[in-house]
Structures are given as C-alpha cells and as structure tokens.
Amino acid sequence: MEIKYTVQGLLIYATIIAYLSAFVTSLLRREKTGHILYLFGFAIAVFSFGYRWYHVRHVPLQNLFEVFLCLGMIYPVSLFCRRILRVGGYSADMLIGAIVLFPAGFVFNAEPQQLPPALQSWLFTPHVAVYMLSYIIMAKATFQAILQLAGKGPNPNENLLPPEQATYRIICIGFPLLTLGLVLGSYWGKKAWGDYWGWDPKELWSLASWLVYVGYFHFRYMFGKKHPRINSFWAVAGMAAIIITLLWVNLSRLFPGLHSYAT
C-alpha cells in the first residue's frame, strides 16, 4: 500500500473524501448537502479520469488502476437507478464509489503504460467500458440483494421498489451489458488471437459470472418471488464471480493467461 503524491493521486483522494463526506452527510439526514457533495465528488472523478486520459494518450482502461478509476464515476448509475428504476441505495452508492477508488488510490501501480499491439483495436474501449458499466450495475443489484437477505426495505414514503424486485430490475439492466461484453470480447479474441474462445481463465470466469445470472433468470422464472432469499443468493453469487473475474484472475498467479496485461 502506498500513498500517491501526484496530481492523479490527489484527485483520487479528493474524490474519496467527497464521496465519504456525502455518505456521512446523507446518514445524518442532510440529503441535499449529501447530494451536492456526491455530485462534487463525481465531477472530480470525471476530471481525474480525463486527466489520466490526457496523460496516457489513450482511453484509460488498460489496467486495474485505470479500470478502478473508471468505476469511481458511479454517480450517473445511481441517479438512473433512483429516477428511472425507482431503486434505492443512493447513499450506499457513495460508499461504493469510495470503496472502488480505494485500490486505485492506495494499491494499484499508476505508472502509465503504452498499449501493446493486441489492445490497439476499436473493440478495446467498448469491450472494457461495457463490462465496467455492467459490473457497477451488478454491484448495485448485490446491495439490494443483501438488503433483502437482511430483511430491510426502503422507507414507505420514498416510493421505491422492495429489494427483491429492485434486484431483479437492476439485473435486467446489467445483464445485456454483461452479454455484450462477453460477445465483444469473443469477437475481439477472434480478430486478435484467431480464436473466438480461447478457454483462457479470464474468459472462463467471465462466462461463469454470466452463467450465474442466466441461472438467476431461470430460477426466478420457475419460482417467481416464492423463494426471495434464494433469488438474492444468486445475485450475491454473481457479484462474487465478477470480483474474481476482475481481481483474482489478474492478481493471482493461479490464472496465467492472455489477459495478463490487465494486471
């Protein structure tokens, strides 16, 4: 763990502080101030991402540092979930934002890298961006699933969906993105390596994550809301598979493969 005494590092820390302040303020029932702080944190996160983009001269989605920097821009997702989907967890999103920025700020190496030939493709940005968006959406779904497992629900005055339904609705938004990420990755694999499916550990873990959500849909189709706890377990298992896909596969020596440049 190291502190980054760079402009990039300071921007990340400022975002974390803004997100955490927004979270604490929201807990103290100062929603408006919390919202402003959250928006302010998001603005710094966008600037930080843009700064990195300018610095490395390519879309900064190459390694874990850049990917977590991108995940820190969670605000539009929480706004969309609240306004359009009527799903709660707005305050929790502030905490999620701070948590995902933590490894970028203190753990991962921020040294700029040049793009290897395999990553010089128009598919690089859509493939990674679509995955990141789906991951952050699935993280929100997991939070709702945990709420359901904990037996907690939204305030009746808030006109928000109960956690089980909220989980389903968010997964319905995230699943097409997960599918698109998988298919784009496969198409890119064919273009770059000659095979649309190389049985690489990262590919297999991402297939496993996709299959957990496929299982969730089939189980929910069979039983509906009869077994809400099992439905929630599927969602939590999906997130566990995503975390392994995103982190463990790249950080552990257990899974050497074609995606090692993402480390």
Partner 1 sequence: MNKFRRAVMWVALALIILLLFLSVYGAFIGAARAKGFISRLPLVVYWITFTLLLITALVMFRRLVRVPGLLLIHLGCVFILAGAMWSSETGHKLQKKLFGIDKITTGQMIIFEGHSDNCVILEDLKQIKKLPFSVELDDLKQIKQLPFSVELKDFQIEYYKTAYLHIQTRDGQGWRIPVEIDTEFPLGSEFGTVKILKTFENFKITIEGGSKKIIDDPQPGSNPALEVQITSPEGQVTTRYVFERFGGHTRPEDKFALSYRRVISDYISRLRIIKDNKVAAEKDIEVNHPLSFGGYHFYQHSYDAEAGQYTVLMVVSNTGLAVVYAGYWMLCIGVIWHLWLRHIVARIKLKNK
Whichever of 135 and 255 has its CB closer to partner 1, that residue is: 255
Exposed, middle or buried: residue 251 (CB in 10 Å: 0-12, 13-18, 19+)? middle
* Maximum Cα interatomic distance, the chain, rounded to a whole number of Å: 55
Q: Could you give the count of Cα atoms lying within 13 Å of 54 in the half-sphere of its Cβ?
A: 8
Whichever of 57 and 152 has its CB closer to partner 1, that residue is: 57
> What is the smallest separation between the CB atom of 164 and partner 1, expressed in angstroms?
17
Closest to 56 in 3D by CA, of 10, 98, 119, 106: 119
> What is the smallest separation between the CB atom of 45 and partner 1, expressed in angstroms?
26
Q: Using CA atoms, how far apart are residues 116 and 122, in angstroms rounded to an integer? A: 14
Site for partner 1, rule CB under 8 A: 111, 114-118, 120-121, 172-173, 175-176, 179-180, 183, 186-188, 190-201, 204-205, 207-208, 211-212, 214-215, 218-219, 221-222, 249, 254-258
Q: Using CA atoms, how far apart are residues 60 and 67, in angstroms rounded to an integer? A: 7
> What is the smallest separation between the CB atom of 83 and partner 1, expressed in angstroms?
14
Whichever of 25 and 134 has its CB closer to partner 1, that residue is: 134
Whichever of 75 and 255 has its CB closer to partner 1, that residue is: 255
> What is the smallest separation between the CB atom of 121 and partner 1, expressed in angstroms?
4
Q: How does DSSP classify residue 114?
A: P
